[in-house]
Amino acid sequence: MPMTNRTNCIDRAGQILIFCIWIEKRLVDLIVLKKHPRLIKKVNESSAKINLPRTFVVERAKLWQKDFSVIKDMFINLFDPPNDWRNNLEGIYDWRNIIGHSHISLYRGYLLYRPSGKRRKINRLTKNHIVSRPPDAAKPFLMTLKLSDDKKYESVLAVLEEFDQKYLKFVANSLGINYEKIR
């Protein structure tokens, strides 16, 4: 049975949200390893049968409690990504927040999002991919996320996958960590 637009949109929003959260957790891992380089060898040597170093687990758990904006800013300050990757990270941050704070209805094929006063500026990457203003919106900052659009959805996934498989892998390699160990 084909997926309806509304189910398709909700499923896709869930996939993107989980992928954004997953990327956030990889940022945390890389932050911990950058701050504690002595753990890199132990993490590289770990396997499913060997527990990760306690310091790594404790430090990671502390950072997991922080807001994504804090993690994003810590990562940018520690690793100083080039502008294109920084822009992608800002877009991932926006997608996570937009989806997480959207009004979801099982009877619509889109999500509604109204940014707070301080979040009205949406990253260009996000705006170009998934955010558009509905023609009947009473307020100028009410936006729709029409993830049932295959091209827009695939474009978002492509950015997420590239950020993971190219940039985060590059950062891990620069630290001397086998990226698959934290992936």
Instruction: Kindly list the averaged pLDDT for each block of 10 residues, start to end, along the chain of length 183.
Output: 62 92 96 94 75 87 95 97 94 89 77 66 62 55 73 89 96 93 85
Place of tokens 């094929």: 109
Would you state the pLDDT for residue 129? 56
How many domains does the chain contain in total? 1
pLDDT at 102: 83
Owner of token pair 């040597």? 45
Rounded to two decimals, what is the model's pTM? 0.84
Q: Are 145 and 131 in contact (CB under 8 A)?
A: yes
**Residue range of the domain that includes 150:** 5-182
Q: Which residues, 6+ apart, have CB-to-CB distance to 12 below 8 Å?
A: 147, 148, 153
3-state secondary structure 2-54: CCCHHHHHHHHHHHHHHHHHHHHHHHHHHHHHHHCCCHHHHHHHCCCCCCCCH
pLDDT of residue 76: 97
Q: What pLDDT is recorded for position 146?
A: 74
Beta partners for residue 111, in sequence order: 145
Alpha carbons 163 and 96: distance in angstroms, whole number: 14
